[in-house]
Amino acid sequence: MRILILCTGNSCRSQMAHGFLQSLDPKLEVYSGGTEPATQVNPLAIKVMKEVGIDLCSHIPTHVNTYLGQEWDYVITVCGGARDTCPTFAGKVRKRLHIGFDDPSHATGTPAFIESEFRRVRDEIKEAFTRFYLTEIKNSAIHA
Q: Do residues 105 and 42 make contact, with C-beta atoms less than 8 angstroms apart?
A: yes
Q: Quick check: is 86 catalytic?
A: yes
Q: What is the DSSP letter of 94?
A: E
Packing angle between helix 13-24 and helix 43-50, nearest 10 degrees?
30
Q: Quick check: is 79 catalytic?
A: yes
CA-closest candidate to residue 74, choices 56, 39, 53, 98 = 98
Question: H or E segment at 20?
Answer: helix 13-24
User: From the candidates 4, 79, 82, 121, which is the catalytic residue?
Assistant: 79
Considering the four listed CATH numbers 2.40.10.340, 3.40.50.1980, 3.30.70.3270, 3.40.50.2300, the one that applies to the domain covering 2-137 is: 3.40.50.2300
Could you tell me the pLDDT band of residue 92, with boundaries at 50, 70 and 90?
A: confident
Q: Quick check: is 12 catalytic?
A: no
User: From the candidates 86, 121, 125, 137, which is the catalytic residue?
Assistant: 86
Q: Where are the domains of the chain?
A: 2-137
pTM of the predicted model as reported, rounded to 2 decimal places: 0.90
Over residues 12-41, the pLDDT tens digits come to 999 999 999 999 999 999 999 998 999 999
For residue 7, the cross-strand partners are: 34
Could you tell me the pLDDT band of residue 6, with boundaries at 50, 70 and 90?
A: very high
User: From the candidates 6, 7, 21, 41, which is the catalytic residue?
Assistant: 7
